[in-house]
């Protein structure tokens, strides 16, 4: 499925589930440019290299600076492999230098240096 096809499906879903309220076209167009679809096999390490390239392009195009969240809609038994592959492909970084959340920060939610994927 292409990005456009995925966005169209989401738009239909949003419009149907919005209790009769259709989303504003201009708002949807701006918002939907940040929605992308990538079909991949999470057991294949090449998937993560491709994902990293795609995300780097989006970081440039949308000025996100690597700020991302990975939602793992998989069985919990798969988390370790996925997280290790994300890290091996360079998609994990130490937050202590760029977010203000570190072991020495009073804002830190827990002891130790935080890492994000």
Q: 53 with 18, same domain?
A: no
Q: 60 with 98, same domain?
A: yes
Q: 84 with 95, same domain?
A: yes
Q: 33 with 43, same domain?
A: no
| CA 116 to chain CA centroid, nearest Å | 11
Q: 105 with 84, same domain?
A: yes
Q: 27 with 59, same domain?
A: no
pTM (2 decimals)? 0.61
Residue 2: domain span: 1-37
Alpha-carbon distances, residue 94 vs 1, 47, 75, 78, 105 (angstroms): 34, 22, 26, 23, 14
Average pLDDT, the chain: 78
Tally of domains in the chain? 2
Taking only the tens place, the pLDDT of each residue in 44-97 is 999 999 999 989 998 898 888 888 888 888 999 999 999 999 999 988 766 555
Q: 55 with 111, same domain?
A: yes
Q: 28 with 67, same domain?
A: no
Q: 26 with 75, same domain?
A: no
């Amino acid at each position: 499925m292409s990005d456009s096809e995925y966005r169209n499906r989401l738009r239909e879903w949003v419009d149907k589930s919005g209790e009769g309220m259709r989303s504003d076209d201009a708002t949807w167009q701006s918002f939907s440019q940040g929605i992308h679809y990538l079909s991949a096999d999470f057991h294949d390490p090449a998937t993560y290299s491709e994902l990293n390239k795609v995300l780097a392009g989006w970081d440039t195009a949308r000025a996100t600076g690597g700020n991302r969240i990975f939602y793992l809609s998989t069985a919990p038994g798969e988390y370790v492999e996925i997280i290790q592959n994300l890290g091996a492909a360079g998609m994990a970084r130490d937050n202590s230098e760029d977010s203000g959340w570190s072991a020495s920060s009073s804002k830190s939610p827990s002891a130790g240096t935080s890492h994000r994927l």
